[in-house]
């Protein structure tokens, strides 16, 4: 939360431990000001990452593999790498977020919504979300779209499966935090 001068971390809880117990343990660390379980969510994907990032250090970035950044980038841009499996190619073509959120929304063009108001797709790098910040809020907007605003639904049969939507949720949530993007190897030119 850059505006508050705080660093927030989402951590995985080991099997057999409760989120409350882990938060209590972490809060005892002298370097931690505050710890509590908030917005617990789990990614649903388990497939290995696809290389294709063009980054020579991709193979040594644990977060890139864990977050499946190559696949997420392909979903966001709508362009699956040559050699990607057919399922990923179909999902990437279906999602194609960049067709509206050009340059991660930084260069999105204005358009008319169903009520005659000029709107434009959200700039995903500025951290302002009008429909809520919780992971489920992002999931619902990606899955069901935004009626009247022109954002199509991407959930349901023949579009994106729930695990791909959750992966996009996690990807979009990192866009507003340059330090997190850097740590995960997501590079966005200035």
- The pLDDT tens digits for 32-70 are 777 776 644 443 333 333 344 455 555 555 556 666 666
Specify the pLDDT at position 143.
92
The domain spans of the chain are: 1-40, 47-184
CB atoms within 10 A of CB 21: 13
Specify the pLDDT at position 140.
93
Is the pTM here over 0.85, yes or no?
A: no
- pLDDT above 60: residue 182: yes
99-123: pLDDT as tens digits: 888 888 888 889 888 998 888 999 9
Specify the pLDDT at position 45.
35
d(CA 45, CA 163): 5
Average pLDDT over the chain reads 75
In 139-162, which positions are buried (b, 16+ CB within 10 angstroms) versus exposed (e)? bbbbbeebeebebeebbeeebbee
Can you tell me the mean pLDDT for 153-176?
84
Specify the pLDDT at position 25.
85
Please count the CA atoms within 13 angstroms of the CA of 135 that sit on its side-chain side: 17
d(CA 69, CA 91): 15
């Amino acid at each position: 939360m850059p505006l508050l001068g705080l660093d927030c971390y989402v951590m995985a809880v080991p099997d057999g431990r409760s989120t409350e117990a882990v938060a209590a343990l972490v809060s005892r660390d002298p370097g931690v000001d505050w710890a509590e379980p908030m917005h617990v969510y789990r990614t649903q994907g388990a497939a290995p990452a696809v290389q294709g990032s063009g980054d020579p250090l991709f193979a040594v970035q644990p977060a890139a593999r864990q977050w499946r950044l190559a696949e997420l980038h392909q979903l966001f841009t709508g362009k699956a790498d040559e050699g990607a499996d057919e399922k990923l190619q179909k999902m990437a073509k279906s999602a194609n977020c960049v067709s509206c959120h050009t340059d991660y929304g930084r260069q999105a063009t204005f358009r008319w919504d169903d009520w005659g108001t000029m709107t434009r797709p959200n700039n995903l790098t500025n951290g302002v979300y009008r429909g809520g910040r919780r992971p489920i809020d992002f999931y619902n907007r990606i899955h069901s779209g935004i009626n009247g605003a022109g954002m199509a639904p991407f959930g349901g049969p023949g579009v994106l499966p729930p695990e791909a939507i959750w992966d996009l949720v996690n990807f979009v949530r990192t866009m507003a935090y340059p330090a997190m993007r850097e740590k995960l190897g997501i590079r966005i030119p200035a």
